[in-house]
Amino acid sequence: MPKISVILCAYNAEEFLADAVNSVLRQTFEDLELIIVNDGSRDSTPAVASQFCQADQRVRLVNIENGGLSNARNVGLGEATGDFIVFCDADDTVDREALDVMYDAVCRDATDLVICGYHHDTVMSDGSVSTVDFFEPSVVYNTREQLFSGIVGLKSKFIFDAGWNKLFRRSVIVENGLKMAVGELFEDTDFVLSFLECSSRVSVLSDCFYHYVQRSNGSITKRYDERKLRDLKKRHRRLAEFTADADESVKRYVDLYYLKNVYSALANSFDSNEMTKAERKALFHSELGSQEFETAAKNAKGVGFSDGLTVLVAKCPRWVGRLYCWGIHFMKSYAAGLFAKLK
């Protein structure tokens, strides 16, 4: 059996799939299997994947009906045979030495999860790429209490939540029946929290190995989706439960993180052509006036200018919050590279 199973889910990814697959197959760590889950693609994704299966015996293709990313990843988990699991998205790439270094870390530190940094590559409309690196200093956590000490940094650098910058011990997943939440957003956060509830033995690497590529193509991070507000509230409550025994500074950051996500979701409402001005105003009134938001605004605290501005706006009249969200929308739409650096 291979040491590492890489699960790569693809839906209509013919344009980028080859780059993602090649980045995995060219790893200096060779004892791996690559499971490509074709999530009911309507383009030539299956044909592209089949070519790799014929060329490299480590590659397997699983074709399923379209059911979304979480369902596809769960199928991949069911197919995996490796000791460890790595997720990769079909439009991203992985640096060549990533699996080598992460596998060495998990063996050296005797942990169940390895988290690395990543490159946030924003592809502009003219084809140029703006890159921002997100990482935290290397450290090992062996208990949940130790993890609490670093969770603010991991969350603030957007390293904690993603599924694709991590190496998971598969036995923890199998023995606890862990799966991605189907039909919900922020499924990565839910999965990571579920894993850490089972084991808090974590290695953090300062190396940036994963290239998270964001293109100006109307991705889910930019579009308004009413599920986003619903599901981020669920994740906030879940994270609050996970950190219930942490000190107050951690809890205050959890509230700050909630405020940031609410503003991000509301900012996307400016992209909706189906929502009238009156409906948008009512949405803002409802969300910014909710008890959950007001409680978070009262307790939240972070570090730096961006965090301070978020807390300040949250304590202002709601019209200030609407203006703030419009500013976020403008930055996402017309200055994505700068927004990635400032957020």
Residue 202's beta-bridge partner residues? 113, 141
Closest CA to 260 of 304, 217, 219: 304
Residue 272 has pLDDT above 90, yes or no: no
Higher pLDDT, 306 or 224: 306
3-state DSSP of the chain: CCCEEEEEEECCCCCCHHHHHHHHHCCCCCCEEEEEEEECCCCCHHHHHHHHHHHCCCEEEEEECCCCHHHHHHHHHHHCCCCEEEEEECCCEECCCHHHHHHHHHHHHCCCEEEEEEEEEEECCCCCEEEEEECCCCEEECCHHHHHHHHHHHHHCCCCCCCCCEEEEHHHHHHCCCCCCCCCCCHHHHHHHHHHHHCCCEEEEEEEEEEEEEECCCCCCCCCCHHHHHHHHHHHHHHHHHCCCCCHHHHHHHHHHHHHHHHHHHHHHHHCCCCCHHHHHHHHHHHHCCHHHHHHHHHCCCCHHHHHHHHHHHCCCHHHHHHHHHHHHHHHHHCHHHHHHHC
**Residue 32 vs residues 59, 103, 207: alpha-carbon distances, Å:** 9, 11, 21
Least-confidence region, from 229-233, 250-254, 278-282, 301-305: 301-305
Give the pLDDT of residue 339: 56
Mean pLDDT score, 55-74: 97
Supply the pTM of this predicted model: 0.90
Give the pLDDT of residue 342: 54
pLDDT band for position 273 (cuts 50, 70, 90) = confident
> Residue 143: left if φ>0, alpha if ψ -120 to 50, beta else—which one?
beta
Query: Which of 3.40.47.10, 3.90.550.10, 3.40.50.1100, 3.40.50.1820 is the CATH number of 4-215?
Result: 3.90.550.10
pLDDT band for position 239 (cuts 50, 70, 90) = very high
> CA 42 from chain center: how many Å?
25
pLDDT in tens, 324-333: 999 998 887 7
Give the pLDDT of residue 303: 79
Give the pLDDT of residue 340: 55
Give the pLDDT of residue 219: 47
pLDDT band for position 124 (cuts 50, 70, 90) = confident
> What does residue 148 show for φ and ψ, rounded to 5 degrees?
-55, -35
Residue 296 has pLDDT above 90, yes or no: yes
Mean pLDDT score, 45-53: 98
> CA 69 from chain center: how many Å?
12
Angle at 188 between CA 90 and CA 106, to 5 degrees: 85
Paired sense of beta strands 4-10 and 84-89, if any:
parallel
Q: Is 126 exposed, middle or buried (0-12, 13-18, 19+ CB in 10 A)?
A: exposed
Give the pLDDT of residue 220: 44
pLDDT band for position 92 (cuts 50, 70, 90) = very high
pLDDT in tens, 161-197: 999 999 999 999 999 999 999 988 889 999 999 999 9
Residue 343 has pLDDT above 60, yes or no: no
> Mean pLDDT score of the chain, rounded to an integer?
92
Question: CATH 3.90.550.10 region(s) of the chain?
Answer: 4-215
Give the pLDDT of residue 123: 87
Mean pLDDT score, 78-98: 97
3-state DSSP of 200-262: CCEEEEEEEEEEEEEECCCCCCCCCCHHHHHHHHHHHHHHHHHCCCCCHHHHHHHHHHHHHHH
